[in-house]
Amino acid sequence: MTSKEIVDAVISYVRDENAKYAILIDGTWGSGKTYLYENYLVDAIDSVEVGKNERKQNVYISLYGISSIDSLAKQLITNYLIYVKGNGNKLIKKGLKPLAGIIGVASSAFSFSIGPISTDLSNVFEKIEGSIDVKDMVICFDDLERCTIPINEFFGFVNNLIEHCNCKVIILADEKNIGKIYANTNIEEKYLTVISGNRKVVEYIGDGKNTKTQNKGLGKDTNGEITVEEVKKLNEILYSENYLYKDIKEKVIGKTMLYYPALKDVIKEVICGNEKNKGIIQEGQYKEYLLKYINDIVSAFTETENRNLRIIRSWIFLFRKIYEATTKYYSNSKYYEEILNDFLRYSIWVAGAIKKNKKITRSANYGSQDMVYFEGHEYTHIFRYSFIDAWINRDAWSDEDLSQACKSIIKRREQEDVDNPPKIHSTGKALNELRDWYLMEDEQVEEVLEKLVHEVEEGKYAYYDYSNILSTLLYLQVYGLFTGDIKKIQTKMIDMIKKDPDVQEENDFPKNFSSEEIRDKYNELYRPIAEERKIRNREINKEEQEESDIYRSADVFYEHCSKMKNYYCSHKSFIEYLDLDKLLALINISNNEDIYTILQAFKTVYFMGNLKDFYMTDIEGIKRIIEGVKDDDIVKQGGITRKIALSNFVESLKKDLILLGVEE
């Protein structure tokens, strides 16, 4: 339930004089239950009129550390004096709880004035009758799962408040952990009981013990061995009062509400605050960044299955230094926001792993970086950044390590831009409209087709959509809905490709055709377009080579080949993208070391054993390079060691030809 839904339900409960039961607001640790009470429920309860100009008095008690009904009764009276008689609710309305010390002092003073407190609440009231009226209150008990009062005694106390004092009781707790605190008291004695009977505790029972059988899931091995985890599990089963709680809760708790606020709203409120409290981040660029990327923050916390308000607050403070340092040194990088978003996601993983006792495990290596996954999410991978581990885990900071991480991201993103050039998107609308052509009337289909032809002529479609346009027109031509000249459209597409200033890739999705005849027509139309696109892409690539002057030195040529190797591999051509005259001219002026550098550049591109599957179009170009290197003008430029370098270069290219299926 959301905050609003719970507030509405609580108001209805407080108003209902026939509701003789307590209500439980269930939520995991750190989900913000106390925050919900302080910032929303207090005012809502105070506003409820239960009689003519009368309102319920509102008292809050944390059960954390309270171990007896005597202590609880004393705390109730103390808090009544503070919150009701002392107007302590004003503190709550400001988002502040009274200090524990104040409560403790008041509690001690109160106990001296009235003497020992009986475990029967009615006796307590008799002792102070006439001076304090503690009936008709709304009492909020928080942290029930951390209370060490036996659960049956606590519920008896609550039932007395409801039945005899006409009080409304709201309990805030993580229900699945109620009563489990008893499993952790006198733990040594309980563990001895669990492992009695000559059991041996081991860390792990190996897979080789094929005779292992478990006693109804309680972890008893035929060899008398029990793991540490099984000891803990058995202890919890035997000594937790959670089972007792489940048996008796229905007698006292009439309604349970699961507090599950929208994570985005929670994070936004933590950052910006509400009417009572300021957010933890005041005005500034950091706040603007967090709000701009709040969906990414929500996504990362969701990946770690983490909704803990305390962890969220802690992460916001920790990430601020990462944000400010990255902004200081790399705000001018074209990849600045991507760098920050990488750091944002991984830092949330690290913060969540610490608090939830989860592991972030290495799964693969990408260059010099580790790819990792969060425990329980083996199919979601991100990059590890060690400086973030050091900062969040050990409070150790290094500007140098952050800088190295930023540089690694920039290098990776530059390579990705080469391997996957950003797509040019179509601006035409008609093609998308034709997806539902079968729902239209004939006249409407013809109208949209006419619009499509005009949009093609106006250049409103990227090459990515050319194949879709042709297949759509052929399909509708079969039904007689398109009667135009597809060949004319093909010619227009080719003309536009010849003038296109950008590299564009084709649509790789396979297409289905209703007949072989339509498939053949499609191939006849599309193949010349695809070939022209490849030619134009190579021309643009060569123009870019000229601008960067990749033939000015062997090192520059090597860097280019290292950067473009994946691109050449995916396009199944390397030599066709090179200017062989300029390459041979570079070899001609190169010294021995440079020749080996150029050779290494070729090996960088031709790195795979199955060369035949990728570079068959390079055969003639390789032959031309071999003949060019063997030319007398190149060979006679140096002595014996130069001839050896050139010979090694030629022999390496000949081996590549063999891998391409060319016999010597």
The pLDDT tens digits for 459-475 are 999 999 999 999 999 99
Which backbone phi and psi does 66 adopt, to 5 degrees? -80, 130
d(CA 662, CA 370) in angstroms, rounded, equals 40
pLDDT (0 to 100) of residue 300: 92
Which two structure tokens, joined as six digits, stand for 332?
């001018």
Spatial contact of 351 and 311, defined as CB atoms under 8 Å apart: yes
Instruction: Indicate the pLDDT class of residue 108, thresholds 50, 70 and 90.
Output: very low
Confidence of residue 145 (pLDDT cuts 50, 70, 90): confident
Averaged over 201-210, what is the pLDDT?
54
Q: How confident is the model at residue 87 (pLDDT cuts 50, 70, 90)?
A: low
Global pTM reads 0.65
- Interacting residues of 357 by C-beta distance below 8 A, sequence separation 6+: none
Please say whether the beta carbons of 557 and 589 come within 8 A: no
Kind plus residue range of the DSSP H or E element containing 227: strand 225-227
- For the chain, give the mean pLDDT: 82
Using DSSP, state whether 9 is helix, strand or coil. helix
The reported pLDDT for the residue numbered 386 is 94
Distance between CA atoms of 468 and 463, rounded to whole angstroms? 10
230 vs 1: which has the higher pLDDT: 1
Q: What is the pLDDT of residue 346?
A: 96
268-300 pLDDT, tens digit per residue, is 988 888 777 788 887 789 999 999 999 999 999
- β-strand partners of 370: 365
Across the range 157-163, mean pLDDT stands at 87
Kindly indicate the confidence band of residue 561, based on its pLDDT and cuts at 50, 70 and 90: very high
Is the pLDDT score of 106 beyond 80? no
Task: Write the DSSP string, 367-409.
Answer: TTEEEEEETTEEEEEEE--HHHHHHHHH----HHHHHHHHHHH
Mean pLDDT of 402-425: 88
540 is written with which tokens? 């643009």
Residue 544 has pLDDT above 80, yes or no: yes
Rounded to an integer, what distance in angstroms lies between the CA atom of residue 599 and that of residue 607?
Answer: 12
* Cα gap 178→6, rounded to integer Å: 21
Q: What is the pLDDT of residue 193?
A: 62
Q: Residue 45 has what pLDDT?
A: 87
76 pLDDT band, cuts 50/70/90, is: confident
Which pLDDT score, from 0 to 100, does residue 512 have? Answer: 82
Confidence of residue 501 (pLDDT cuts 50, 70, 90): very high
